[in-house]
Amino acid sequence: MKAIYSLIVLWTLAYHVQLCYAVREGTANAKVMIQRYEWEENFAKAALWHEAAADCLKIISMPMTEVQIQYYLRHGKNVLAERSRGELAHIKERREYHLKAARAHWERPETERTSPDIDAEREKTTQFISTWVQIYPNRFYQYGIYPSFFKRQQEIFKRRRDYAAILNLEADAAEMCADQYDEITVAYFRRGVLNCDAVGGTAEGVRREAICHHAANHLSKVGEDSIMQYEKIRDAHRQRAALLRAIAEGKPETPPTEAESVLNESINPAPKLTPKQALGIASKDMRLQEHLKAHTGVHGYASFQGFAWFVSYYNHGWGNLGVVLVDDKTGTVLDILSFLPTRN
């Protein structure tokens, strides 16, 4: 039994590390843009996307991993905490790599630091970061620590018929999800305009002012309403956790009906639009059509992020081509982020 248990633990750890790697790569999928611009020897734009990758690691991956480490330590999961610390160290190394690469590109004598074209690209990187900041906490129950740790622990307690432990684990998960919203999404939008360190960590002088200007311009479009929406989602997760703990205090001997309804209910507000409708609105935008006309085999996917739909477009040759933000209430396009330049 000990041997089997050890194998299970090792498999879980490996699975956890692989998922963290996937999260990091997904967040920093700016590498597609980096490779494209380095191949074109457009080093100013490559530097901007190296900085965007570094910022994603700082703003998303680092706090996400730190939240997990603190949870493991509180619950005596020291082996998992050490694994996550190793993961955090690797994230920091990757961030330093991108910052170093960005500095090297900016230091090239032929690299132009400011121009309308570079300013437009800088705006894209700000939108890129903003998009991923909103997407990742929303995926909490599908990827990462929830399926690889919480669900597996719950299965163990389910076999023991320890329903109070199951409920407390689910409450832990809800609290962690709330923490991720607070530490990543809400924190980003709160600090974005006031604290320019949240965007473009290597920027200095004129370039720092330009980044702050573009960040402020983009975040002003997002508005206070979206911040309040994400605070509501965060608070809903916390309320869910409190309710589950209250039910667990009764030490139920059978799966409590009340808890089942709490576990099954959706935290995120119900959208007004359907995925098909959001995809249709995004696909009709003339700016998007112009951007995608040079590409074939394009597929769009719509996901609801609490207040707006993020409609992503892909094809197998280029990967992620762009994201369109569609307002759920008005059914209008809020913004378009194009990841790749149009082919000539």
What are the tens digits of pLDDT across the range 302-342? 888 766 788 888 876 556 677 888 888 899 988 787 655 54
State the average pLDDT over residues 199-222: 47
**Residue 168 confidence (pLDDT):** 94
Q: Are residues 256 and 279 in the same domain?
A: no
Domain containing residue 312: 275-338
> Is 308 contained in some domain?
yes
Local confidence band at 170 (pLDDT 50, 70, 90 cut-offs):
very high
Q: Are residues 107 and 160 in the same domain?
A: yes
**Highest-scoring range by mean pLDDT, 35-44, 78-87, 253-262:** 78-87
Average per-residue pLDDT in the chain?
A: 78
Separation CA 93–CA 87 (nearest Å): 10
Domain boundary among the residues 207, 234, 264 is at 264
Q: Tens digit of pLDDT for each residue in 15-57?
A: 343 444 444 444 446 777 788 788 888 899 999 989 999 999 9
Domain boundary among the residues 209, 242, 264 is at 264
- The total of other beta-carbon atoms located within 10 Å of residue 64's CB is 26
Q: Are residues 283 and 257 in the same domain?
A: no
> Is 344 contained in some domain?
no
> Is 153 contained in some domain?
yes
Q: Tens digit of pLDDT for each residue in 172-181?
A: 999 999 999 9
> Is 122 contained in some domain?
yes
Q: Are residues 299 and 260 in the same domain?
A: no
Max CA pair span of the chain: 72
- Decide which of 256 and 74 is more confident: 74
**Residue 265 confidence (pLDDT):** 63
Q: Are residues 238 and 300 in the same domain?
A: no
State the average pLDDT over residues 200-229: 53
Q: Are residues 167 and 288 in the same domain?
A: no
Local confidence band at 12 (pLDDT 50, 70, 90 cut-offs):
very low
Question: What are the phi and psi torsion angles at 167 (to 5°)?
Answer: -65, -40
- Of 133, 135, 140, 137, nearest to 173 (Cα)? 140
Strand partners, 333: 326
Q: Are residues 256 and 187 in the same domain?
A: yes
Q: Are residues 249 and 282 in the same domain?
A: no
> Is 123 contained in some domain?
yes
Give percent of the chain with pLDDT exceeding 90: 35
The b-or-e profile of 171-208 (16+ CB within 10 A means b, else e) is bbbbbbbbbbbbbbbbbbbeebbeebebbbbbbeeebb
Q: Are residues 23 and 113 in the same domain?
A: yes
Q: Are residues 127 and 178 in the same domain?
A: yes
Separation CA 274–CA 304 (nearest Å): 9
Q: Is the pLDDT of residue 6 over 70?
A: no
Q: Is the pLDDT of residue 151 over 80?
A: yes
> Is 270 contained in some domain?
no
Classified as helix, coil or strand, 13 is helix
- Decide which of 78 and 114 is more confident: 78
Counting the structural domains of the chain, the total is 2
> Is 343 contained in some domain?
no
Question: What are the phi and psi torsion angles at 302 (to 5°)?
Answer: -110, 130
**Residue 327 confidence (pLDDT):** 86
Q: Are residues 47 and 88 in the same domain?
A: yes
Q: H or E element: which one contains 238?
A: helix 205-248
**Residue 268 confidence (pLDDT):** 61
Q: Are residues 66 and 185 in the same domain?
A: yes
Q: Is the pLDDT of residue 113 over 70?
A: yes
Q: Is the pLDDT of residue 9 over 50?
A: no
Domain boundary among the residues 235, 264, 293 is at 264
Measure the N-to-C terminal CA separation of the chain; round to a whole number of Å: 62
DSSP 146: I
**Residue 162 confidence (pLDDT):** 92
> Is 321 contained in some domain?
yes
